Chains A and B, each alone.
Chain A
Amino acid sequence: MNVTTKAAAVSRRRLLPGFGITMGFSVLYLSLVVLLPLSALLFNSTGLSWAKFWDVATDARVLASYRVSLSTAAAAALIDAGLGLLLAWVLVRYEFPGKRIFDALIDLPFALPTAVAGVSLTALYSQNGWIGSLLEPLGLKVAFTPLGITLALMFIGIPFVVRTVQPVLEDLDRDMEEAAATLGASRWRTFLRIVMPELFPPLLTGFALAFARGIGEYGSVVFISGNMPMRTEIAPLLIMSKLEQFDYAGATAVALLLLLISFLMLLVINSLQHWARKSSR
């Protein structure tokens, strides 16, 4: 039996035509467009030594930029997780007028160029903007503070949470909720004990996706952040300013660290998605 299934598997593997050419082209194109250029960061020609790398990586301004990037991205992703759960819940569970527009709007941050998001958020929250002027008397400044960065990252990240939670919520078996209700559990208790455990993996995945996107985000943030070193300068911007001063080694060092964080996030997200798939079965 073993021999025949193995033979069947082998022949199945190459039953359709085009493996060699599609695989060859894909790997070649991937190497040329993505892998080779990325490897320039690792095997760079800018004369970046370990000592120089360490110098840059532990520089106070660089550390501050990572602190700003990581903390604002984490805060934004956390708030997005809450708001995204609300939006996904309302979208899946309720019928109401205007639902289709509601659903479409959630995709706007995916489709809108980040520079446009940047200038429009800045216009809204600057001192004489629609919202900024309301918050000003309260002593709350958003534009040109970490709060503004967080807000821009919330805008960018919200669809990741909604679109990750939404399909899971749709596939959720309502029988369990019915059963809980029949057994006398309150709606709130049912939500916490029955629904939330199912939604936790996608929520965490959505959080991680929004967080990862937020760390590297540039366009929507540069306008609203004010770009003050040590206070509102994000890591991607620091790469940019080092490049503008022709400090290629410095830019490469900051970028390498950022890339390392992104790869770690990619790993986390992949295992989260794996876990979510397994637990949904």
Chain B
Amino acid sequence: MAGTVPLHVPGPRTGVSSPAATESRAVKWVLISLAGLVLLWLIALPLLIVLVESLKRGLDVYWAALTDPDAASALKLTLLVAAITVPLNTIFGVTAAWAVTKFRFRGKGFLITLIDLPFAVSPVIGGLIFILVFGSHGWFGPWLSSHDIKIVFALPGIVLATLFITFPFVARELIPLMEEQGTQEEEAAITLGAHGWQIFWRVTLPNIKWGLLYGIILCNARAMGEFGAVSVVSGHIRGETNTLPLHVEILYNEYQFSASFAVASLLLLLALVTMIVKGLLVRKNAH
């Protein structure tokens, strides 16, 4: 199962069809208009309302919401969590993809299913399990509290929950890509006397770099935007364990709508940048 879909490159056009095998112009434009309306209603309006609501009470309020110390520390925490989780899951993604696609072994399908698991699990459960392991009533709870180590309701808990949620992103992007590319080029390199690292850096990496980059930006978008799992383990301590998405919720529940949407607009920006990078990568891939 996928929480995402592999980087999609539009396929080649299959010649121009005869008029009998296409719709009439009228039908075509009706369908395009309908699709446009659906897109406008379902996706573009929610995007637009974030901007409108955030600027409703003027730029001053907008700016004040973003420069508020709590917002600033939420931003810092969000960036910190992403800076820890994304590289870790990237390293895992590359090694797992190497192990899965460059060798044949029994139980490969099962391993891929296990890698996909976090996509299938509700984010709330993704947080709950770390409470059950590290919380005060959890497996390691008594030991942790006697050694004065805080995991849940602190940074380590947020990092763990985010690691869990974003676990499959890079691996999932690379596995189909590397599967398709096979092992011939690497095998040629080895007969020419290259050793492991050389093969990876000189042969494999150049082949997978755009897919890898796409996996990383998706992983990053989710790491910065994760709400459910982080909400369970964060403890919602302002200025300490509050990430940007949680800050949106807190402000919203306090009826500070403009401020809430101002912070939300930051996250929207993250989403837009992610989409634009994806667009660029698709075009790169097409060439």
- What residues of chain A have their CB less than 8 Å away from a CB belonging to chain B? 9, 12-19, 21-23, 25-27, 29-30, 33-38, 40-41, 44-46, 83, 86-87, 89-91, 93-94, 96, 100, 102, 104-117, 119-121, 123-124, 129-131, 154-155, 158-160, 163-164, 166-167, 170-171, 173-174, 177-178, 180-182, 187, 190, 209, 212-213, 215-219, 223, 235-237, 239-240, 243, 248, 251-252, 255, 258-259, 262-263, 265-266, 269-270
Contacts and interface: CB of A to CB of B under 8 A. Distances in A.
B183 A15 contact: yes
Contact of B103 (A19, A30, A115): A19
A154 B128 contact: no
B245 interface: yes
Contacts of B261: 119-120, 123
A76 B111 CA distance: 31
Contacts of A113: 221, 224-227, 244-245, 248, 267, 270-271
B13 to A, nearest CB: 9
A193 B216 CA distance: 41
B144 interface: no
Contact of A41 (B132, B164, B227, B260): B132
B1 A212 contact: yes
A205 B270 CA distance: 29
B131 A13 contact: no
18 contacts: A18-B98, A34-B167, A41-B128, A96-B32, A105-B39, A105-B43, A113-B245, A115-B227, A124-B46, A155-B42, A163-B5, A163-B8, A166-B8, A187-B23, A187-B27, A216-B124, A219-B227, A219-B228
Contact of A178 (B20, B105, B264, B268): B20
B164 A22 contact: no
Contacts of A109: 43
A46 B114 contact: no
Given A123-B49, A182-B20, A240-B232, A158 B43 contact: yes
Interface of B: 1-5, 8, 10-11, 14-15, 17-18, 20-24, 27-28, 31-32, 34-36, 38-39, 42-47, 49-50, 53, 92, 95-96, 98-100, 102-105, 111, 113-118, 120-125, 128-133, 135, 137-139, 160, 163-164, 167, 183, 186-187, 190, 195-196, 199-200, 218, 221, 224-228, 231-232, 244-246, 248-249, 252, 257, 260-261, 264, 267-268, 270-272, 274-276, 278-279
Nearest to B191: A15
B18 A243 contact: no
B interface secondary structure, majority: helix
Going nearest first, the 4 A-B pairs with the smallest beta carbon separation are A113-B225, A216-B122, A181-B20, A218-B228
Contacts of A123: 49, 53, 257, 261
A86 B34 contact: yes
The residue in B124, B135, B267 that gathers the most chain A C-beta atoms within 10 A of its C-beta is B124
A94 B32 contact: yes
B120 A178 contact: no
B17 A174 contact: yes
Nearest to B93: A26
B129 A41 contact: yes
A203 to B, nearest CB: 14
Given A115-B248, A218-B123, A94 B129 contact: no
A104 B139 CA distance: 45
Contact of B122 (A40, A120, A236): A236
Given A22-B98, A26-B99, A182-B20, A219 B123 contact: yes
Contacts of A89: 31, 35
Given A113-B227, A114-B225, A236 B31 contact: no
Given A40-B138, A114-B227, 18 more contacts: A16-B102, A16-B187, A30-B115, A33-B163, A37-B130, A37-B133, A40-B129, A45-B132, A87-B39, A107-B278, A116-B50, A119-B261, A120-B264, A129-B49, A130-B49, A180-B21, A187-B24, A240-B231
A111 B103 CA distance: 33
A219 B245 contact: yes
Contacts of B139: 40, 45
Contacts of A29: 92, 95-96
Contacts of A217: 122-123
B124 A174 contact: no
A256 B182 CA distance: 39
Contact of A173 (B14, B102, B244, B270): B14
Given A26-B99, A108-B43, A173-B14, A218 B131 contact: no
Contacts of B190: 15-17
Nearest to A122: B252
Contacts of A266: 1, 113, 116-117, 120
Contact of A38 (B32, B43, B99, B117): B117
Given A41-B132, A154-B42, A236-B122, A14 B115 contact: no
